[in-house]
Structure 1
Amino acid sequence: MEPAKPEVPSPPPFPLLVHHISDSTQALFSISDNTSRAASIPEISGRYFPTSYGWILVLGPPPAWESFLWNPHSGERIQLPDMEEAGDEIPDNKRCACLLSDDVVASPTCGVLIYDKVTPNMWYCRVNGGSRVWLSYDYDIGSMDVPDETCKALVERQKTFNTIASFRSRFYFDESADTIGMLEFIGDGGDQTESQFGDMDVGWVEFPDGSAAADMFMLESGGELFHVCVFYTLPCLDAPSGFAVYKMDFSEPAWRKTDDIGDRVFLLQEVFSASSSCSASECGLKRNLVYWVNSRVDVTCLYLFDLNDGGITTVQPCQGTPDPQPRPPFWMLPAASPST
């Protein structure tokens, strides 16, 4: 009689909050059943960048500088051009973030954007097309005054993309308190592809009484563009005092506060990852919730914002993982369009 084969544990249900125990091992926390499991996933052991569409961009080492999109749910890969000269220019996901302009399956013009949050540099590549290559761009969206290292004086620094999301083949970002910037790439993905910027005036959101600061998140969901604000009250900047969700009204244009996002759950990522959404019913979750990982505290804490009653609850996922972690935690979800 053949010896019994050891049982291979099934993967926990998506979506997952991924914590890094080390560069090669992870802890996967499922918000569907509140369980955590250890894993060792090669695709997220090197340079990788999560996206709001579930696909993860993986960049290989030199000299090949391979690049591909990876579906963590099915294991499917979409090969992209080798990075060549751009390969050694791009920092890892402690400093850079990545967006897809569209659903890679539904859109023949889908593009991949990597952007540096420290310097105004970005890299772009079309997913489909024979002439596609990785292109490097510098951009200028203005400057701002920030405190120097001693916090005794202000110095001028170039602005970079901070709150940004993809929507209808464009990238939208907060340019100023009352202006939304727009970025799109014109061309077939070859060497002559140009970056084109625009902007539109919008009425900015009002802070609740007593709130002195906020973390901002932008995302596309269900064919609409949303802004989520997590508010803080001085002197406590470790725990939020409130939250609000706003939907873009393009007819004005203006941000409109809403307390109903339908059969959806918003998943707010760390500052170097794209925020996303998923179907609540398909994932076995309560609808109309916003999940947010608090990066302002030493121990990772997961907040649940309930749009139905305004309640805020907390969960400490993946207890025992190191803090600070070797890399930022991120949401892993089935690769699909947020619009579905």
Structure 2
Amino acid sequence: MVEHADATKFGSSMSSCLPLLVFHHHPGDGQEDGDDEMLMFSISKQTLHKNMEHDLLAAGSSMCWTTAQGWILAQDRGTMSSSTCLWNPSTGTELPLPDLGEEHQIPYQCRCLLSHKDPTHPGCVVVLFNNAAPDLWYCHTTGDGDNSSRRWRRYS
């Protein structure tokens, strides 16, 4: 069963579908028109949902890391200045984050953690741990009027 995850389904009714597997899908119709999509599979309901936000995690130069809280840290490296955000696939909510510049060169083999269950909490920090080296990157998800706390920092 395939359902289209429209904006009205993303509220509390979508939470009954958790946990979700989110994956990139290229239809096997033989056409190379770049019409890829993101799909969500509900493990609990055994249903497949087409995702409206497929551009957010589209193939190509995008990178993403999952969190234990169900959010996905998404980075689009396809632009001059990368577009970075936290995205909740069950609600469709996006939380913009400071751009990750090329100077950070964050590898894919990182683990992403949030310091709070709710990333809009004033003290919440996003942390990326490099699994292959003793490196980590972090930034605050919300600003306190001070933009210096809203930038990515690296520790080695």
Structure-2-length-normalised TM-score = 0.67
Per the alignment, residue 100 of structure 1 pairs with 114
Per the alignment, residue 123 of structure 1 pairs with 137
Distance 1:75 1:38, change over 3 A: closer
Distance 1:10 1:26, change over 3 A: closer
More helix by share: 2
Per the alignment, residue 135 of structure 1 pairs with 153
C-alpha RMSD of matched pairs (Å): 2.6
Distance 1:101 1:44, change over 3 A: same
Deviation of 1:42 (Å): 1.9
**Could you tell me which of 90, 96, 106 is aligned with 2:106?**
90
Per the alignment, residue 75 of structure 1 pairs with 92
Higher relative contact order (CA 8 A, sep 6+): 1
Contact 1:86 1:136 in 2 (8 A): no
Which ranges of structure 2 fall in alignment gaps of 5 or more residues? 6-13, 27-33
Provide Cα deviations, 1:199-252, integer angstroms capped at 9, x if missing partner.
xxxxxxxxxxxxxxxxxxxxxxxxxxxxxxxxxxxxxxxxxxxxxxxxxxxxxx
More strand by share: 1
Percent identity between matched residues is: 35
Deviation of 1:57 (Å): 1.2
Deviation of 1:39 (Å): 4.9
How many residues get paired? Answer: 127
Q: Which amino acid aligns with 2:127?
A: L
Provide Cα deviations, 1:31-62, integer angstroms capped at 9, x if missing partner.
22212345572222221111112221111224
The correspondence of residues 28-39 of structure 1 with structure 2, limited to 5 A, is 28-37=40-49, 39=51
Contact 2:4 2:51 in 1 (8 A): no
SS in 1 for 2:126: strand
Provide Cα deviations, 1:159-191, integer angstroms capped at 9, x if missing partner.
xxxxxxxxxxxxxxxxxxxxxxxxxxxxxxxxx
Contact 1:21 1:27 in 2 (8 A): yes
Contact 2:75 2:83 in 1 (8 A): yes
Distance 1:18 1:101, change over 3 A: same
**Could you tell me which of 68, 76, 88 is aligned with 1:52?**
68
Runs of 4+ off more than 6 Å: none
